[in-house]
Structure 1
């Protein structure tokens, strides 16, 4: 059953998907060059033979047994969060409608996260009849709070973690300053849009600007909405810490749980930087930076590669399961306008 726009919402299927601009070749090459450069630096410091030997000792089946349940849990919570945000800001939709498209986009996210976000927004645009840019605004709203979810738990880690060296003392001091600035920025964002909701002149300036449609969800969102999304997403990070903790143990690496909570968000943030392919390279560099004191460097690199590829494989398998259904539904949605015009 197709859902319609929320009554009274400004969202309507009036705007079409913006025509994509051709990406310059040099910009397309940046992630590949970044990945090669980072791994070149890593293997200049660590002999690649040692990393290969460490990789051969990875307990693959045990890793799958740890990361597959986590991937299933992540997919379930991720879809629940998207469903809540869409119902709150765009249109009434069911979890069963959101789950297939959200899961199938994990396959696309392996190559390009932005393209996967656009795919979700396109589905919402066609399925629920809301504007593409408004749907994309909701997806970006979740993406922003996914970053702040990492800040939240890393902030807790800063509070409870006891640095073990002078370098860590300096690093934790830097993190405190960074996190104060980050939380202040979020407070400014929330306050600005709260003011925009109350003052028509400011709201009109935001909505009529070039990014007005992309800010539709942010204009509607109240402080409680930010807290709800953070609360929905929080279990996924806690589950990731548990999964990584046990996977590290299986590989013979001991990392204190609080240290994982402090630095694992920074690993995830590094992996999300758009300067590498499939999140490889930046993630390994971050693992080395924060956890090289817990095991030999080659073992840390081997673990980070194996864990990351295992998680990506699990996500891809889940996405492939839902991909046929998502493809059928998208095909049907594309065919609807043609059939409607034919019968008109």
Structure 2
């Protein structure tokens, strides 16, 4: 469920001296496509030649594999997305560290640079993505023009793929009804309020603290009230320092979870008493950032993965996981969206708030300086 686990498998193995040999070097990324362009430098499917995506598909199938990282199968329906991609193209998808945080994706790419095991693609929270754009390879998918300019880099170095609203999920059989953030300070919530990860590392947790800040009079320019609120939760004994998973929710270990609505909504299908509320005074919207690793060992497969994610099929798979696909508006207009799934998204009361790149950078610096002190 998470993308927020803080332990890096790679770091632990290296630090413990358990790696017997280094991973093999990646294959030559300089191989030319049928159009005479290096696969690692292709900026659109046209660079691979052929009709539509045929040249890209052939090049990706020749590579035969794709390395993804930090994609839990129960996060935004990624399990079904990975299977659908592999089945459709006959490409083996190697999914590493599914519970890793966004920063750990970047760390893995740095540590494994030049190796066949390096991530081909990234799926990142905003703060981490915008701090590492130098690691991304520009690429424009076929549907690029359907995506709002505010949700993509002009050259396609990064593009928002799916998103939602920050929410509070809770087990109504174990805690009282939650109408807003302030309810979490009540005595009925001792040891029961969990945040999905460390906000200095994980995008979901970062947005959780920002949502709380909005509810406390803060703004995208001022995340401090959010940190102060979590400090109050800690002092009241209500903050639960456990990273939530479907297992902890269903077992009752984490009866209240601050997380994206699509993750909390997914739990309602397994736990009937699980409820979800998007605070009306703090409707924080956010999208994840998709990018190709500039050093991708499978550059064609990485680009085909992008095409799949932004196709109608890929976008509807996100939607079926209760995530809001970035192309939703154009798909509604075209009549290609899964309307049944679209109509089941949680309602939002009030205008959505978004966090800009500059606001994200400033908030991240504040968290790095103050979060550990607040909840330590």
Which TM-score band applies after superposition, normalised by the shorter structure?
under 0.3
- Select the structure of larger CA radius of gyration: 1
Which one has a larger percent helix, Structure 1 or Structure 2? 1
- Structure with more relative contact order (C-alpha pairs < 8 Å, separation 6 or more): 1
- Taking structure 1 as the reference length, the TM-score comes to 0.26
Please report the TM-score for the alignment, with normalisation by the length of structure 2: 0.24
Comparing both structures, which one devotes a greater share of its residues to strand? 2
